[in-house]
Amino acid sequence: MGEAASPTLELDDIQSGALRPRPSPFAATYIAFRIDDRKAGRELMKKVSNVVSSAADPTSPLSDTWVSVALTFKGLEALGVPQESLASFPWEFRQGMKARALELGDDGDSSPENWEAPFATNDVHVVLVAVSPTQEQLEKALDRARETYKGMTGIEAIWRQDCHALPDDKEPFGFKDGISHPAIEGSGIPGTNPKEKPLRAGEFIIGYTDEMNGVQKMEPEILGRNGTFVVFRKLHQRVAEFRKYLKANSKDTDAEELMAAKMMGRWRSGAPLALCPFHDDPAIGEDPKRNNDFMFKADDASGMKTPGGSHIRRTNPRDAAIAGVARIHRMIRRGTAYGPLLPEGQLEDDGADRGLMFAFVGAYIGRQFEFVQSQWINDGMFFGANQDKDPVMGSMGEDESFSIPGRPLRKRLQGLPRFVVTRGGEYCFMPSLSALKWLSELES
């Protein structure tokens, strides 16, 4: 028997925020709500379902602002979702991010007792994300949205985080971000690596066949189908620390840039070491046809170009020899910067909060997000490097190191501090448009 034909995703029922790339440039806002009254919560579901656009629709009901909505497990409980439905959700999601802190490496400065309120409480029930091409358009849309929930009792907006795309799509450490995305069968949305075979739709959208030939279902089916999971993490970046570490361990600025590239697997321009092992090539970095067109196995098995421990190789080893199969641990990422930029060249911390609102989208929080975070970012065993962590964003303890393969000798960086600190986050479920309606019509 041949392979089954790939399914056509029901794009008109899937939230646009799950699959569609954002406008460029853009401003975004995250708003968290607490539901104190289940009827008011259901009313909120109804109101947002009128402003959420589908992945089939290039325009938004709010014209220039795209809204997505997701719920935590506590949020589903607060809406009065029946027990048998709640029990049909995956275990990690039911536990929530705070309870998974140990697995995720959220210890020390990153541990939940140091998280910003209201994370680490049970109060975050609904997370609404609004994205616009400009801050001005976003503010106008938020003013209109506020009108819809302002007069409602039983619903409280308890947290807001404004984010924005930095110039050239850089993240706060200065690397171009948002380059590598998986291709998804039946979505019509192209991936960015022409050498990667598209992934089965069930890896990203519930109710379709996945890479392990399974189909995930919730009870009732309408609640899960065409939905997905979203993991939000507010990640503070110690930019001054990162710059100081590079400077203190390099003989000149060229060596600093090479070290930064070896840690990330790409130069700051986005040009991958796989294609530009010795010098940056900004023209490749900004060219979407070339900047992700590579694998590792054929010409870089030993990591002489892209170290096995670099951020991009460990979070997506592509075809490199590792313990396990990379395809069942892929993810869609929607990171957005927050906070002011640290001025170019400044090496002293100014105390400002800056970093990334990291967002994962995928159908399996356990084997996609948690696996990558715990096994690939915070442990090096899978590619034969003992406990070496991700040099950029690992949960560093005492005396962490990172190996850069080289001839005649490899280089070993020592004493890597923690450059990224978790400030909080949530595991959320992003329902389909018909599931939002189902939630709004719950009774009793």
> Nearest approach, Cβ of 69 to ligand HEM (angstroms)?
22
Number of residues that bind ligand HEM (CB under 6 A): 26
> Nearest approach, Cβ of 134 to ligand HEM (angstroms)?
23
Contact in structure between 206 and 200 (CB atoms under 8 Å): no
> Nearest approach, Cβ of 359 to ligand HEM (angstroms)?
10
Among 22, 234, 311, 423, binds ligand HEM (CB under 6 A): 311
Our finding on whether 163 is near ligand HEM (CB under 6 A) is no
> Nearest approach, Cβ of 9 to ligand HEM (angstroms)?
21
Among 237, 310, 378, 432, binds ligand HEM (CB under 6 A): 237
Stretch that binds ligand HEM, among 8-16, 138-146, 175-183, 346-354 (CB under 6 A): 175-183
Among 70, 97, 393, 421, binds ligand HEM (CB under 6 A): 393
Our finding on whether 368 is near ligand HEM (CB under 6 A) is no
Among 179, 276, 332, 433, binds ligand HEM (CB under 6 A): 179
Our finding on whether 379 is near ligand HEM (CB under 6 A) is no
Our finding on whether 178 is near ligand HEM (CB under 6 A) is yes
> Nearest approach, Cβ of 258 to ligand HEM (angstroms)?
16
Our finding on whether 332 is near ligand HEM (CB under 6 A) is no
Our finding on whether 173 is near ligand HEM (CB under 6 A) is yes
Query: Which are the contacts of 289, defined by CB distance < 8 A and separation ≥ 6?
Result: none
> Nearest approach, Cβ of 368 to ligand HEM (angstroms)?
9
- Phi, psi dihedrals of residue 67, rounded to the nearest 5°: -115, 135
Our finding on whether 180 is near ligand HEM (CB under 6 A) is yes
Our finding on whether 331 is near ligand HEM (CB under 6 A) is yes
Our finding on whether 267 is near ligand HEM (CB under 6 A) is no
- In the chain, the amino acid numbered 85 is S
Q: For residues 34 and 423, which CB has a smaller minimum distance to ligand HEM in the complex?
A: 423
In three state form, how does the secondary structure of the chain look? CCCCCCCCCCHHHCEHHHHCCCCCCCEEEEEEEEECCHHHHHHHHHHHHCCECECCCCCECCECCEEEEEECHHHHHHCCCCHHHHCCCCHHHHHCCHHHHHHHCCCHHHCHHHCCCCCCCCCCCEEEEEEECCHHHHHHHHHHHHHHHHCCCCEEEEEEEEEECCHHHECCCCCECCCCCCCECCCCCCCCCCCCCCECHHHCCCCCECCCCCECCCCCHHHHCCCEEEEEEEEEECHHHHHHHHHHCCCCHHHHHHHHHHHHCECCCCCECCCCCCCCCHHHHCCCCCCCCCCCHHHHCCCCCCCCCCHHHHHCCCCCCCCCCHHHHCCEECCEEECCCCCCCCCCCCCCCCEEEEEEEECCHHHHHHHHHHHHHCCCHHHCCCCCCCCCCCCCCCCEEEEECCCCCCEEEEEECCCEEEEEEEEEEECCHHHHHHHHCCCC
Our finding on whether 196 is near ligand HEM (CB under 6 A) is no
Q: For residues 74 and 354, which CB has a smaller minimum distance to ligand HEM in the complex?
A: 354
Stretch that binds ligand HEM, among 56-64, 116-124, 178-186, 212-220 (CB under 6 A): 178-186
Among 269, 315, 378, 422, binds ligand HEM (CB under 6 A): 315
List the x/- string, 348-367, binding to ligand HEM by CB under 6 A.
Answer: -------xx-x---------
Our finding on whether 261 is near ligand HEM (CB under 6 A) is no
Closest CA to 19 of 363, 404, 367: 363
Q: For residues 175 and 204, which CB has a smaller minimum distance to ligand HEM in the complex?
A: 175
> Nearest approach, Cβ of 121 to ligand HEM (angstroms)?
22
Our finding on whether 420 is near ligand HEM (CB under 6 A) is yes
* Chain contacts with ligand HEM (rule: CB under 6 A): 171, 173, 175, 177-180, 235, 237, 264, 266, 311-312, 315-316, 331, 333, 355-356, 358, 369, 372-373, 377, 393, 420
